[in-house]
Amino acid sequence: MRIQTIPAMLCCYFAALSCKSGSGRMPAAEPLWSDTGKGIVSGYAAATDTIPATLALPSYNELRYTKTEVVKAAPGTKSVLFNSTGTQLFAMNLEGMSIYQFDRNSRSVTREFKFKPTRGTGWDYETDKPIPSYEEKPVEACLSHDDKWLWVSLHNAEGIVAIRVDSLSANKHSGQVIAPRAVLKKITVIERGSTGRDSFQVPLIRTGKTPKVIARTASSSHLLVSNWHSYNVSVLSTHPERFPYATVIDTIPVPAIPRGIVVDDRNQRSFVAIMGGASLMSVNNNVWMKEKDLTVASNPRHLVIDSSGRLFVSYNRVGKIACIDPNTGETLFTASTAAQPRTIILSKNHRFLFVTCYSSDKLEVFRINDDSFTRIASLPCPGHPVGVDIYENESKLEAWVCSYTTGKISVFNFEKTK
């Protein structure tokens, strides 16, 4: 894969809290934000989410695959992310240097956020060498503060950007003090179905080289960013009332390349998948320091957590998924997958695990038993599937999977049964 120029029940609530990190319960109220994240600043509201917990969906024990729909996206779509209500989906188009906003009901793009390209240096993952590219390559994203803010990592810009998606006019930063040294990225917004266009500049918040996954605490007060080539994780304190809307307060070194992050709000800790090694790193969220390393299999890529606190991990190189004890690191059970499992996500009832398998062009679905996995579906998904997010209602489940090489999103439909 070359990153270069463009070719041309409360479980539902848990799953929405941490940008697919699957974090657990809401913690006690946190102090007001400050530049250090450890003090209180008067005159500002607490950084908390106010969307009430979603009513529990009816119980179900089985999923029956019914059909696949294909939706046109953009070149090199790397990840997808639903808002908390499942009405809107954001697709991060790495090679397209854009973000598509989809209406789930109509399966159509309603809005495009198009970055203005600036020359930069990318990375060829096949040759492990730097290459000429552009900075504005969206990788992963996270929604916070009642879905008002979309935080997006830019592969070659060494940082993340903050976009107000509930009110585009707020991106004009009216009344804000913008430092002369601030780095801004221009975005043109194209409203589909109309001639309307708007543009604004959003702040680039420096984190580290080749930022990847962004996760947040349940209260939206803090973000964590894994920086692939910097061998560290950035911790940011959010301050949505003041430009640039988040500040790096800590940098946590890791022993090798990091990628996946999951936040365990119930126990005030986070876990980082050390993809360049064979461990998960536990972080104390009260002091933002490493607690310990948990030894696991080689090449862990993505992490999620269920409501009981168990960790689920995908192992890209060895083609496996596993359930891990978060306290001891003991592997509780595993299953083989199709080649190169990438992004994983839990169903809202935490009984099913969805796995995108990159080089094998598959979406696989596993039932989670007490002490084992059972594969219930292995579905074709051409174009190297990489990102996935889920929508559910009372009777059905939709898995939206983006494929990197085809610029398409496959919508896998499942019927729920008892």
Closest CA to 33 of 284, 203, 249: 249
Looking at residues 135-159, what average pLDDT do you find? Answer: 98
Where does the pLDDT of residue 418 fall: very low under 50, low under 70, confident under 90, or very high at 90 and above?
confident
**Structure tokens of 131?**
């290459």
What is residue 75's predicted lDDT score, i.e. its pLDDT?
A: 85
List, for residues 66-86, the tens digit of each pLDDT value. 999 999 999 899 999 999 999
pLDDT tens-digit readout, 202-233 = 999 999 999 999 999 999 999 999 999 999 99
Nearest to 337 by CA among 311, 312, 363, 372: 363
Q: What are phi and psi of 336, to 5 degrees?
A: -80, 150
Domain boundaries, the chain: 11-26+54-417
Q: In what order do the strands lie in the sheet with 320-324?
A: 300-305, 311-315, 320-324, 331-336
What's the whole-number mean pLDDT along residues 382-393?
98
The token pair that represents 303 in the structure block: 């992490």
For residue 151, the Cα-to-chain-centroid distance in whole angstroms is 9
Return the pLDDT at 262: 98
Instruction: State residue 25's pLDDT score.
Output: 32
| Res. 331 pLDDT band, cuts 50 70 90 | very high
CATH superfamily to which 11-26+54-417 belongs: YVTN repeat-like/Quinoprotein amine dehydrogenase (2.130.10.10)
Do residues 73 and 97 make contact, with C-beta atoms less than 8 angstroms apart?
no
- Confirm if 49 and 219 have CB atoms less than 8 A apart: yes
Q: Are 379 and 338 in contact (CB under 8 A)?
A: no
**pLDDT tens track for 295-323:** 999 999 999 999 999 999 999 999 999 99
Amino acid at 137: K
pLDDT digits (tens, 9 = 90+) for 25-51: 333 333 222 233 333 333 333 445 655
Instruction: Name which of 350, 354, 351 is nearest 364 in CA terms.
Output: 354
Neighbours of 317 (CB within 10 A): 14
374 backbone dihedrals φ, ψ, rounded to 5°: -125, 120
* Single-letter code of the amino acid located at 169: S
Quick one: what percent of the chain has pLDDT higher than 90? 84
